[in-house]
Amino acid sequence: MMTQRKQHFAVLSLFIFLGLATLGWLLSQAIIQYKQLDRSVTVKGLSEREVPANVVIWPISYSVADNQLPQLYASIENNNQLIAGFLQDNAIDAQAINFAPPAITDKSAQNYGTDNNSAFRFVGNQTVTVYSTEIDTVRQAMTALSELGKQGIVIKGNDYENRTEYLFTGLNDIKPAMIEEATRNAREVAEKFAADSSSTLGKIKLARQGQFSITDRDQNNPHIKKVRVVSTIAYYLSD
C-alpha cells in the first residue's frame, strides 16, 4: 500500500515538475517575443511650403485737429472721400473699403497730462481699412500712398496698431498633401535607421501629427508665407 502511494506521489511530482517547466518556457518565450515586439525607432518627418498670402488687411490711419467740432467732422468726412477716391483710382473695389467710427478726443475735458495747453481743443483719429484678396493690387496702391500727402492728409506710420497684415486662409487645401509628405519623409529616415542597424522596419507603433505653423517667409516679404508641419512617428523594428 505504501509502495503504491509512493508511486502515485512520484508520478504527481513528475507532472508538476513538467508543468512548471513548460510554464517557465512559455513565459520566457513570451518575454522574448514582447521584447522583440517592443523594439522601435521614433523619427520626425518635416514638410514645408512657401505660399502667397491670399488676404490683405491694410489700415490707413490719420488724425485731424480743430477747435470747432462740426468743422472737425467735416474735415474727417472730406478726408475719407479723398482716401476712398484714391483707393478706387488704384483699382481697389469699393466693397473692400471700410470706415471705422472716428475717435474724438476733447482736450479741455481731460483732467490729466499737459495736453490742456494744446492749440486745438478737439482731435479726431480715423482709420480706413482695406480688406481684400487682390494682394498685388493693394501692394501697388501702397506705393502711391504719398498722393494722399499731397492732398493734405498726414498718414500715420506703419506702427503695431496700423501695420498691414497678410493672411493665408487656404491651409485646409494643402493639409493632406503636407501630412503625406511629412509621413513619407519620416518613413525614409526610419528605413535608413533600420538598414544601418541590420533591422527590418515594421508597422507604425505610434504617430503624432504636429501643429501647422504659418509664418512670414522673412520680414521684408510678409505677403509670402511659410507653412510648416512636423510629424512624429514610431515604427516597430525586427531582426
Q: Would you write out the chain's pLDDT as a tens digit for each of its 239 residues?
A: 555 555 555 555 555 655 555 545 444 443 334 444 567 888 999 999 999 999 999 999 999 999 999 999 999 999 999 999 999 999 999 999 999 999 999 988 776 555 556 788 999 999 999 999 999 999 999 999 999 999 999 898 777 778 999 999 999 999 999 999 999 999 999 998 888 888 888 888 888 888 999 999 999 999 999 999 999 999 988 87
Q: What is the pTM of this model?
A: 0.76
The Cα 204–Cα 189 span in angstroms is: 13
Look up residue 208 and give its amino acid.
R
DSSP string, 207-235: EEEPPPEEEESSTT-TTEEEEEEEEEEEE
